[in-house]
């Protein structure tokens, strides 16, 4: 079978007004860090994009001090209505600068422009709009009368959805009345720094949001800073565990959004066309760099061969290549380190006896690439069935009965998400009820909405982001408001 060839349709980079170098964003302005600057590159061709400042512990301290001052003097005294106005303004500016942000995100991260343009950036705006609406309604959010902000929030995010993870962190924190110091991932700082320009454009008071770039050391200095009241982290379970240890016994409130190994369960009565698209979206969206990716396909045994045949056929139509090309379905792997990890785990899959199939894609000469891959004959003991690969690799297992599907789906240390494909509503509800996963999608996958809480069980972390629950992660319950105000005042006295 032959397919229509597509002519290249690259999005223009001219909309980007890139600077040669970017400083840290502290107290409303850009300044150089004291660490050794680093270069962020495009993973599609390894070309340098810009030089980025590196925050050391003293820079992190300046950022936390700026956030504390802004909290005490401005943000904690501002009405919710006025805070909401700033959030609405930020949301509108994100919309106005959508194309620029999408190009920056695809360039720095390697994700296809059609995803950054149609998914990431619109969701960023949606998150700010949604939480803008909450800012003046905290008394009615179900956390008691007059719930109180926590203070300064330290937020550390990964590289897979750089701007969206920033929005998930910053929007609820500001709506609840906190100030923020955020650290983006080392490989994807660009969109956060353009976002800092948007904050200047929005006239957000200095110090309310501070952005410190750097690697793990910068993140560690931030979450361990004694003057932060809240730590919010998204990333690997290993780093999440270290942060949980270091914050234990302190007064810091902690939420962790960690890895996953989601089961995507396909029953024999599933609407097959939609299920195939759902499987593809579940694991190949964003090159599989998705914590809630449907990386374990559980397919009912009697439809296994049909599903795999159709899936392979569908994968041969995916186009891999230039992330800025509007036709691209599969972009670049974000870094050399991540590519090595995907390769290693895939090789182990083969060594352990699973059968490997790879879509026939042309791999570009430069950059980091991994073609969509399926493993069949996977056993629950295989590492590719247990560990998060965080790449475009699907492990396929089979089941015979709903009970077996549930047992296999729950047989993981993680519990972030799951999917169910079936024509039968009662079966969907019955199975969903017994899955230990924070989010269960029915006849769809990877759907996100700011009104819907998101988060995990077990090693996928704790706390919820999104919705009213996400707001609660940044508030002290109002039932104890006077005690909270007193303790916050006492803390300030000690700090002085």
Pick from Mg ion, ligand NAP, none: which does 160 bind, CB < 5 to 8 A by kind? ligand NAP
Q: Which of the stretches 212-220, 305-313, 393-401, 464-472 binds ligand NAP when contact is defined by CB under 6 A? A: 212-220
* Separation of alpha carbons 243 and 232, rounded Å: 10
Residues 6+ apart with CB under 8 A from 344: none
d(CA 251, CA 254): 9
Q: Does 187 bind Mg ion (CB under 5 A)?
A: yes
Exactly one of 41, 60, 90, 291 binds ligand NAP (CB under 6 A); that residue is: 291
Other CB atoms within 10 A of residue 302 CB: 11
Q: How far is the CB of 429 from ligand NAP (least distance, A)?
A: 27
Which listed range, 180-188, 193-201, 239-247, 446-454, lies at the site for Mg ion (CB under 5 A)?
180-188
Interaction of residue 40 with Mg ion, rule CB under 5 A = yes
CB of 243 to ligand NAP, least distance (A): 6
Residue whose CB is less far from Mg ion, 157 or 440? 157
465 touches 453 (CB < 8 A): yes
Please state the separation of Cα 70 from the chain's center in Å.
Answer: 27
Binding-site partner at residue 376 among Mg ion, ligand NAP, none, CB < 5 to 8 Å by type = none
Task: Considering the complex, state which of residue 125 and residue 157 has its C-beta at the smaller distance from ligand NAP.
Answer: 157
Residue 116 found at the interface with Mg ion (CB under 5 A): no
Of the residues 195, 375, 390, 454, which one makes contact with ligand NAP according to CB under 6 A: 390
Q: Which stretch binds Mg ion (CB under 5 A): 35-43, 128-136, 147-155, 444-452?
A: 35-43
3-state SS assignment for residue 238:
helix
* 402-439 CB burial, b ≥16 within 10 A, e <16: beebbebbbebebbbbbbbbbeeeeebeebbeebbbbb
Beta strands in 70-149 (DSSP E): 148-149
**Residue (284 or 421) nearer to ligand NAP, CB:** 284
Q: What DSSP designation does 116 have?
A: I
| Region from 25-33, 101-109, 252-260, 299-307 binding Mg ion, contact rule CB under 5 A | 101-109
Contact by Cβ (8 Å): 298, 401: no
Are 193 and 86 a contacting pair, CB within 8 Å? Answer: no
Report yes or no: 242 and 254 within 8 Å, Cβ to Cβ: no
Residue number, 183 or 225, with CB nearest to ligand NAP: 183
**How many residues line the site for ligand NAP (CB under 6 A)?**
25
**Rounded CA gap, 218 and 222, in Å?**
6
Nearer to ligand NAP, 68 or 261 (CB): 261
Neighbours of 451 (CB within 10 A): 11
Per-residue exposure over 453-473, b if at least 16 CB sit within 10 Å of its own CB, e if not: bbbbbbbbbbbbbbbbbbbbb
Kindly write out the interface string for residues 137-166 of this chain, putting x where it contacts ligand NAP by CB under 6 A and - elsewhere.
-------------------xxxxx------
Which residue of 259, 282, 470, 472 would you call a contact of ligand NAP, by CB under 6 A? 259
To the nearest whole angstrom, how small is the minimum distance from the Cβ of residue 249 to ligand NAP? 17
Picking from 347, 334, 339, 437, the residue whose alpha carbon sits closest to that of residue 384 is 347
For 488, residues 6+ apart whose C-beta sits below 8 A from its C-beta are: 148, 151
Q: Helix (H) and strand (E) counts for the chain?
A: 17, 20
94 or 243: CB nearest ligand NAP: 243
Helix axes 57-73, 216-223, angle to 10 degrees: 40
- Report the site for ligand NAP in 215-244 (rule: CB under 6 A): 215-216, 219-220, 223, 234-236, 239, 242-243
Q: Report the partner that residue 253 touches, choosing among ligand NAP, Mg ion, none (CB closer than 5 to 8 A by kind).
A: none
**Which of ligand NAP, Mg ion, none does 215 bind, CB closer than 5 to 8 A by kind?**
ligand NAP
CB of 39 to Mg ion, least distance (A): 9
Per CB under 6 A, 446 contacts ligand NAP: no
11 makes contact with ligand NAP (CB under 6 A): no
By annotation, the residues acting in catalysis are 257, 291
Using CB under 6 A as the criterion, which residues of the chain lie in contact with ligand NAP when the complex forms?
Answer: 156-160, 183, 185-186, 215-216, 219-220, 223, 234-236, 239, 242-243, 257-259, 291, 388, 390
Using CB under 5 A as the criterion, which residues of the chain lie in contact with Mg ion when the complex forms?
Answer: 40, 108, 187
């Amino acid at each position: 079978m032959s397919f229509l060839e597509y002519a290249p349709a690259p999005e223009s980079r001219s909309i980007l007004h890139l600077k040669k170098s970017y400083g840290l964003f502290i107290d409303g302005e850009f300044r150089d860090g004291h660490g050794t600057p680093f270069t962020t590159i495009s993973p599609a061709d390894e070309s340098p994009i810009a030089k980025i400042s590196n925050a050391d512990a003293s820079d992190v301290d300046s950022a936390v001090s700026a956030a504390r001052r802004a909290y005490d003097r401005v943000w904690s005294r501002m009405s919710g209505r006025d805070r909401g106005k700033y959030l609405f303004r930020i949301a509108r500016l994100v919309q106005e600068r959508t194309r620029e942000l999408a190009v920056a995100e695809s360039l720095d991260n390697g994700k296809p422009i059609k995803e950054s343009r149609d998914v990431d950036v619109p969701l960023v705006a949606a998150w700010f709009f949604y939480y803008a609406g909450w800012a003046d309604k905290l008394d009615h959010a179900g956390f008691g009368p007059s719930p109180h902000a926590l203070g300064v929030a330290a937020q550390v995010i990964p590289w897979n959805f750089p701007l969206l993870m920033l929005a998930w962190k910053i929007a609820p924190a500001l709506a609840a009345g906190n100030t923020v110091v955020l650290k983006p991932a080392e490989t994807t700082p660009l969109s956060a720094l353009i976002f800092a320009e948007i904050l200047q454009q929005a006239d957000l008071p200095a110090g309310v949001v501070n952005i410190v770039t750097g690697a793990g050391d910068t993140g560690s200095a931030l979450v361990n800073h004694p003057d932060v009241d809240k730590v919010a982290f998204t990333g690997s379970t290993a780093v999440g565990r270290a942060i949980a240890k270091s914050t234990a016994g302190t007064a810091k409130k902690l939420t962790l959004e960690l890895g996953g190994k989601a089961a995507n369960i396909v029953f024999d009565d599933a609407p097959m066309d939609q299920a195939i698209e759902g499987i593809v979206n579940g694991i190949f969206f964003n090159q599989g760099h998705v914590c809630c990716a449907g990386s374990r396909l559980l397919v009912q045994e009697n439809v296994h061969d049909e599903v795999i045949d159709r899936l392979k056929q569908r994968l041969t139509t995916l186009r891999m290549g230039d992330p800025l090309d509007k036709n691209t379905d599969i972009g670049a792997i974000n870094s050399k380190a991540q590519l090595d990890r995907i390769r290693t785990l895939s090789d182990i899959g083969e060594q352990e006896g699973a059968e490997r199939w790879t879509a026939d894609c042309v791999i570009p000469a430069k950059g980091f690439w991994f073609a969509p891959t399926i493993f069949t004959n996977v056993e629950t003991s295989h590492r590719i069935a247990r560990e998060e690969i965080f790449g475009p690799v699907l492990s396929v297992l089979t089941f015979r009965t709903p009970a077996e599907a549930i047992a296999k789906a729950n047989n993981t240390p993680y519990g972030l998400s799951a999917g169910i494909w079936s024509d039968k509503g009662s079966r969907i509800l019955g199975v969903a009820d017994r899955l230990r996963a924070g989010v269960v999608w029915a006849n769809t996958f990877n759907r996100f909405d700011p009104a819907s809480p998101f988060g995990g069980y077990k090693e996928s972390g704790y706390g919820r982001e999104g919705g009213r629950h996400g707001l609660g992660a940044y508030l002290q319950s109002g039932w104890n408001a006077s005690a909270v105000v007193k303790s916050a005042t006492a803390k300030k006295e000690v700090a002085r």
